[in-house]
Amino acid sequence: MALRRSILAALGVVSLVALTACGDGTLEAGKNLDPDKLTIYSAQHENLTQAWAEKFKADTGIDVQIRYGNDSSMGNQIVQEGAKSPADVFLTENSPAMTTVQDAGLLATVDPATEAQVGKAYAPSSKQWIGIAARSTVLVYNPSKITEAELPKSIMDLQDPKWSGKWGAAAGGADFQAIVSAIVATEGEAKAAAWLKGLKDGGKIYQNNIAVMKAVNAGQVPVGIMYHYYWYRDQALTKAGSKNTKLLYFRHQDPGAFVSLSGGAVLKASKHAANAQKFLAFVTSAEGQKMLATSDAKEYAVGNGVASDPALEPLPSLQAPDLDPSTLNGPKVIELMTKAGIL
């Protein structure tokens, strides 16, 4: 009894001390969104978004707060929040989620000046959002488990039963869903559905791209579908998750050569529209894009005249299929994946 009391008392004291010690962090973090700050819903990399936000504040004095999430969840969240969404700016990793918000009529038109900062190929025809970065689909493989001659020629080959149990993908993630949307756009719904069935029956589903890469690296599965930058980031750091792997680019306008566009947009209902447009202009400016190119994000820059990280395969050499990003259909992909039993 006495022992229990003293233990509980000690527990209480420790908690109180810890609370006071970290008080500022806690209370600030627990607070409501500040309506006076520019609010960004970002599905982009935390480090990169943070760096942009800090530089933007240093340049303009505009305070920024960021909510992190992932593409489709945040896209749908904004749609459900509707006109009362606290978000001013939405940054995605892939375009389908952006299209979802756009189709709900919640996006404002991007400033023409901002649009001019980015290559024509990296903006949708709708002009309601703009590319802020790009990433390429790759096949990661483990040369000790599979020879180069045995590798698939197209991403579509993987549905063949002979690949059963030999390929991995992060099917639950937005990245993968963007790739599926490219398959739908290039090959049509029926073929996409058949391919998804192949994934359901023979693919190994991982939690995310890093898990796919590490599984390939560890030899648990010979090949995997993911985006290029996970590999380059790991190579630049410890190589712990990728030292046994190589990348294959499908090229030849294969749906597996799909280059996904990360988007930025201003919400129509934003109460800080001018600042929001300023932020988007900053992100796509030469300065913002250089931050991207020199960061550890390893994504392709899309700003005019800004060179991407030289370590990467040059973007034009990837022979990506030519697609209007605003036509990549998120809900259709979800529907097909749900039908296939993956979701």
Q: What are phi and psi of 41, to 5 degrees?
A: -95, 115
- Using CB under 8 A as the binding rule, the residues of this chain from 181 to 240 that contact other proteins are 204-208, 210-211, 214, 218, 220, 238
Helix or strand (DSSP H, E) at 169: strand 167-169
Q: Which amino acid is at 126?
A: S
336 contacts 180 by C-beta, under 8 angstroms:
yes
8 binds other proteins (CB under 8 A): yes
CA angle 332, 152, 121 (to 5 degrees): 50
Cβ proximity to other proteins, 52 vs 249, nearer residue: 52
Smallest separation, CB 91 to other proteins (Å)? 14
Beta carbon of residue 214, minimum distance to other proteins (angstroms, whole number): 5
**Out of 29, 83, 149, 311, which residue is the one contacting other proteins (CB under 8 A)?**
29
Cβ nearer to other proteins, comparing 219 with 314: 219
Tokens 């030849």 found at: 252
Shortest separation between residue 120's beta carbon and other proteins, angstroms: 31
CB 283, min distance to other proteins, A = 19
- Residue 15 half-sphere exposure, CB side, CA atoms within 13 Å? 6
For residue 309, what is the DSSP state? P
**CA 278 to chain CA mean position, Å:** 22
By CB under 8 A, name the one of 50, 55, 62, 81 that touches other proteins: 81
84 in contact with other proteins (CB under 8 A): yes
- The SS3 of residue 163 is helix
Query: Phi, psi (5° rounding) for residue 333?
Result: -60, -45
Selection from 102, 173, 55, 82 nearest residue 325 by Cα: 102
Contact between 144 and other proteins by CB under 8 A: the answer reads: no
Q: How many amino acids of this chain bind other proteins (CB under 8 A)? A: 62
Give the interface with other proteins as residue ranges (CB under 8 A).
Answer: 1, 4-5, 7-9, 11-12, 15-16, 18-19, 21-23, 25-33, 39, 65-67, 70, 72-77, 79-81, 84, 86, 172-174, 177, 204-208, 210-211, 214, 218, 220, 238, 241, 334, 338-339, 341-343
